[in-house]
Amino acid sequence: MRLNTGGTALQKARNGQRSRQLYSAALIAAAAFLLSGCGTNETSREIDRANNAANPAGLPPGRQGLSRVVATSSFAAATADESRAAEIGRDILANGGNATDAAVAMYFALAVTLPSAASLGASGACIVHDDKSKQAESFVFAPIAAPGPIKGASFSVPNGVRAVTLMHVRHGSSRWEAVVAPAERLARFGVPVSRALSRDLQAGAGMLGDNEAQRILGNAREGSNLIQTELAGTLGAIRQRGGAEFFQGQLARTISEQISQAGGSMPVDVLRSAVPQASAPMSESHYRRRVYVSPAPMAGASALAGWKGSAPGGAVPVDSNGFAGLAAADGQGGAAACALSMGQLFGARVMVPNTGILLGAPTANAAAVSPLIIANPSNGEFTFAGAGGGAATAAQALGWVARGAIEDDRPLGTVLSQTRGQGGFVNAIACPSGLRANGSTCRAAADPAGAGLAAIAQ
């Protein structure tokens, strides 16, 4: 697996200037094709869609990964609450990206494949364990209510793109374009509606009173090809002009204007001032390791309660309830995990016209999320990374699963089979002996009660 072990972002930019110039020429040509839609016939479009379905991350021949979950001595894995997003994370890892690259790619992919729980309007929190610095960093994008409702519904200021942009700048190794492009392709050429999204649509499609949301999502059925042209345009702008475009560029102005025209209120200054919190995570000691969770106002305390032995309550979810999680680990011992929240199923149930962005809702449970990572700050080894979805109690369920897999030393799959979604779906990666020390002990798993996927990069 190729990993970029260069120095600062500036040094990487200088060292890669010539290759990027060559790459940019190809990228401009590809963008012209993707964004024009001219000069292609229906047969060409069908070929593109088939190729996209078989190779969502656009890897070169011979580099496409496998979907099966296995254990290997050289280990890298991705897991998420929706299967195609997990496959994209896996493919990013297989193409030399690190855990942060995979997590960011899955964040954007989930906005396409599971917008009911993880659109670009979602709130949430991410934690990165950096194997080089041996430190962990938290990125919190808490729900912030917009100044005025839209179509009678309160909504949250979208600040997740800004958070993952910062996360990628500090910890990513792949080019920004490479981690956004797979999601853009899914939105532009279409992706089969997964079981995860289908369950959400069955539970909540009738809640989508907004005409724009109904037009795009109302008739989607499991297995049908879901094309989101407006969202593809939004992702294309983010890919081409960077994440800052979302909160201070032309795209930010477009989002603000479209919300205003729909009767809501979110001036560009409000979007610009919604700054994510980047800081050290909340943590506590576990022998030589640290258990990292999200700081307030997110639900890190609930995750720690589960870790300390407080079993999660509540029924097994039947859909996402507007919550989703993802995690990734790379072969060098880096790990990243994110927990996302729309506040409720389909969030505010309103889509910003001409952008494809489903807005989140600032409900009482909107901040009830936290990923969890366990790592040794002395040697940089990580032993657990995960995040939960499906319920506002998923953070506690995550801590409970981490305790079973690490503290009680039980196989991850066994722990998940026994809890089977109690309190929320948990997607996790566990390396009880440390990835670099003994990668053969590593396992990745998606909750059997959910509709997600764990995938190994080979």
Per-residue pLDDT tens for 187-206? 999 999 999 999 999 999 88
Q: What is the pLDDT of residues 58-84, one digit of tens each?
A: 444 433 333 333 344 479 999 999 999
Q: How far apart are CA 242 and CA 24, in angstroms?
A: 14
Residue (of 382, 390, 407) closest to 127 by Cα position: 382
pLDDT of residue 314: 86
170-184 mean pLDDT:
98
Angle between helices 250-261 and 229-241 (to 10 degrees): 150
- Residue 157: pLDDT band (50, 70, 90) is very high
Distance CA 101, CA 83 (A): 17
Q: How far apart are CA 165 and CA 155, in angstroms?
A: 22
Could you give the 3-state DSSP secondary structure of residue 132?
coil
Integer Cα distance of 291 and 285 in angstroms: 6
- Closest Cα partner for 373 from 381, 363, 365? 381
Which residue did the predictor score with more confidence, 25 or 291? 291
> Could you give the angle at the alpha carbon of 370 between the alpha carbons of 366 and 372, nearest 5°?
170
Q: What is the mean pLDDT of residues 427-433?
A: 96
pTM value is 0.85
Is 146 within 8 Å of 357 (Cβ atoms)?
no
Rounded-to-10 torsion of CA 253, 259, 261, 262: 170
Task: Compute the average pLDDT of residues 309-330.
Answer: 96
Whether the pLDDT of residue 53 is over 70: the answer is no
H helix count then E strand count, the chain: 17, 17
130 forms bridges with which residues in the sheet? 135
The beta strand positions in 185-320, using DSSP E, are 191-192, 225-226, 277-279, 282-286, 289-293
Average confidence (pLDDT) over 389-406: 98
Measured distance CA(154)–CA(130) in Å, rounded: 37
Q: Give mean pLDDT, residues 375-399.
A: 96
More confident position, 364 or 69: 364
Query: Rounded to whole angstroms, how far apart are CA atoms 157 and 10?
Result: 31
- Length of the chain, in residues: 458
**Sorting pLDDT into bands at 50, 70 and 90, what band is 26?**
very low
Residue the block writes with tokens 């990487």: 12
pLDDT tens per residue, range 201-242:
999 988 997 899 999 999 999 999 999 999 999 999 999 999
Question: What confidence tier does 437 reach under pLDDT thresholds 50, 70, 90?
Answer: confident
d(CA 270, CA 155): 13
To which residue do tokens 């979907």 refer?
A: 67
pLDDT of residue 24: 41
Lowest mean pLDDT among 47-51, 288-292, 364-368: 47-51
State which H helix or E strand residue 323 sits in: strand 323-329
Edge-to-edge strands of the sheet including 323-329? 277-279, 135-141, 123-130, 335-341, 323-329, 77-80, 453-456
**Span 125-148, mean pLDDT?**
97
At residue 68, the pLDDT reads: 32
Residue with token string 């779906």: 425
As a whole number of angstroms, the distance between CA 329 and CA 98 comes to: 8
> What is the model's pLDDT at position 58?
44
The count of other CB atoms within 10 Å of the CB of residue 153 is 15
